[in-house]
Structure 1
Amino acid sequence: MEAPLLYALLGGLFTWGLTALGAASVFLAREPSRKLLDGMLGFAAGVMLAASVFSLLVPGMEMAEAQGVTPWVPAVVGFLAGGALLRLLDRLLPHLHLGFPMEAREGIPTPWRRTTLLILAITLHNFPEGLAVGVAFGAASLDPTGAATLGGAIALALGIGLQNLPEGLAVAWPLRRAGVGAGLAWFYGQLSAIVEPIGAVLGALLVQEMLALLPYLMALAAGAMVFVIVEEVIPESQREGNGDVSTFGVMMGFALMMALDVALG
């Protein structure tokens, strides 16, 4: 396997592994408090937001400038395309967001069970993260301008891995409360992120095949992540009235990811 694909696969496996670790919290005696979960979800949103800006959009604009392209053009086009892609998948893929009744399920109508729809919702959420990791590692290996670095890609994978911890918890515990056994709840929790290594390899392959479009691909991954942040993560973190805790979590996550990107990138 070529180095960019190997790095992307390892990065995706790392982010999946931390999701599995978060889901393993179902084996504990007590469920974490809702306030703690909302703070952790806010933290996840902050990490994703900073990663979108500092690990994807900014290097993408620097790359475009080095290629002689007006920097904001690929950033804007790719960013909006990423949001549009996620919106299309949101409309088509059957899924159900955590905490909502079956009547609120989205996508094409199906007879699928609630558990399946919940997993699909988190899978839809996780795919852009895997794609972003793959694009970042592919860019670091192949970008001739030097705007994307291996350290920056590692920082992105580390940040996304950290924010996957609460995501694994957020998937597994509702299933546990619904009467699903701990082992099965963990299995479903980690399964929701298995798409991340797949998305990472796909992202690296896209970069290899379309190097000239790299600034657009980086912006696309950023737009897809921001869509998920605004459409799902932040609303979920504030739905139970813990807005202050969630907002503080966003600030902490953004600050940590910004520091990681600067330190490693």
Structure 2
Amino acid sequence: MDTAYDLVRDLPPWQQALYGGLFTWGMTAAGAALVFVTRTVNRALLAGMLGFAAGVMTAASFWSLLAPAIDMAEAQGMIPWVPAVVGFLAGGAVLRLADAVLPHLHGMRGETEGVPSTWRRSTLLVTAITLHNVPEGLAVGVAFGAAAAGIDGGATLAGAVALAIGIGLQNFPEGVAVSMPLRGDGMGRGRAFWYGQLSGVVEPVSAVLGALAVLAVRPLLPYALAFAAGAMIFVVIEELVPESQAEERYGDLATMAALGGFAVMMTLDVALG
């Protein structure tokens, strides 16, 4: 009898990426759904979840993206570190540009960034998390596309599945970070949930696009993997770490949770990949 893994293995890579993106979006929606059982979330718990998310994304950036990018570049006869460095910096630069231009709101800190805008608070919050979720979806898609490309270098289907699981785990607090502030401002449960899950809808779309893009231009695979890693690390440093440390009394908790998230993602990637 075929296992779920066997069924996924037989699917075309764009479909694998789609299911991976749907899972990560579903986890965002699950976090947003907490508004149906409570109006507020414990700040210590949220800080811990955001720290955990930062640890997961940091580990995923290396174990699932940068390390395979370096190995794949070497297998293709490239200077191993060049695609990793170029792609990594390009990923961070693109996210920095989007961060500077697109109006968005930091949930726990309440700071508005980007060009001046008259957008409502709900729109700014959704925009902020959507900005995070684009590189996460791309990372999932690129990982599945790299595994399907069949190029030596450490990119495997199991590793792509591990990446999707890890990103899904860290998406749960991102859904909370959108829906709970909106609920706390008096928005109805249904609308707060809608906006919370909406921020994750971009993930399955960007995952499919990422998989199709890397399969179409295989020599760019190492650059694409490193690009996704750079974009994710930008999100960690710019958003998740400051958000988790927004209240000083929970700083140590968030830090320890980040270590735990890193360990969980590293274990998933090494054990499954």
Identify whether the pair has TM-score above 0.5, normalized to the shorter chain. Answer: yes
* Alignment check: 8 A CA contact 2:17 2:144 kept: yes
Number of the residue aligned with 1:59: 68
Query: Does 1:153 pair with 2:160?
Result: yes
Number of the residue aligned with 1:98: 107
* Alignment check: 8 A CA contact 2:75 2:153 kept: no
C-alpha distance in structure 1 between counterparts of 2:121 and 2:161, whole Å = 35
- In structure 2, the gaps of 5 or more residues are 1-10
* Alignment check: 8 A CA contact 1:46 1:252 kept: yes
Please list, as runs of the form range in 1=range in 2, the aligned pairs for 1:226-245 lying within 5 A after superposition: 226-241=233-248, 242-245=250-253
Please list, as runs of the form range in 1=range in 2, the aligned pairs for 1:166-245 lying within 5 A after superposition: 166-241=173-248, 242-245=250-253
Distance 1:199 1:123, change over 3 A: same
Give the deviation of 1:108 after TM superposition: 2.7
C-alpha distance in structure 2 between counterparts of 1:133 and 1:22, whole Å = 20
Number of the residue aligned with 1:18: 27
Give the deviation of 1:99 after TM superposition: 3.4
**Of 32, 35, 41, the match for 1:32:** 41
| TM-score, length-scaled by structure 1 | 0.96
Residues 87-122 of structure 1, C-alpha deviations (whole Å, 9 max, x = no match): 111112121211345xx4222333211111111011
Letter in 2 for 1:142: A
Letter in 1 for 2:196: G
Number of the residue aligned with 1:44: 53
C-alpha distance in structure 2 between counterparts of 1:157 and 1:100, whole Å = 28
Query: Does 1:251 pair with 2:254?
Result: no
Distance 1:128 1:251, change over 3 A: same
Number of the residue aligned with 2:271: 263
Number of the residue aligned with 1:137: 144
* Alignment check: 8 A CA contact 2:137 2:206 kept: yes
Identity %: 65
Q: CA RMSD in A?
A: 1.2
C-alpha distance in structure 1 between counterparts of 2:39 and 2:190, whole Å = 15
Residues 228-259 of structure 1, C-alpha deviations (whole Å, 9 max, x = no match): 00000000000111110000010000000000
Letter in 1 for 2:252: D
Please list, as runs of the form range in 1=range in 2, the aligned pairs for 1:66-105 lying within 5 A after superposition: 66-101=75-110, 104-105=111-112
C-alpha distance in structure 1 between counterparts of 2:112 and 2:252, whole Å = 28
Count of aligned residue pairs for this structure pair:
262
* Alignment check: 8 A CA contact 1:23 1:169 kept: yes
Secondary structure of 1:239's aligned partner: coil
**Of 119, 128, 131, the match for 1:124:** 131
* Alignment check: 8 A CA contact 2:18 2:208 kept: yes
* Alignment check: 8 A CA contact 2:68 2:153 kept: no
Letter in 1 for 2:47: D
* Alignment check: 8 A CA contact 1:61 1:75 kept: yes
Comparing 175-184 with 143-152, greater Cα deviation is found at: 143-152
- In structure 1, the gaps of 5 or more residues are none
**Of 109, 114, 120, the match for 1:107:** 114
Secondary structure of 1:201's aligned partner: helix
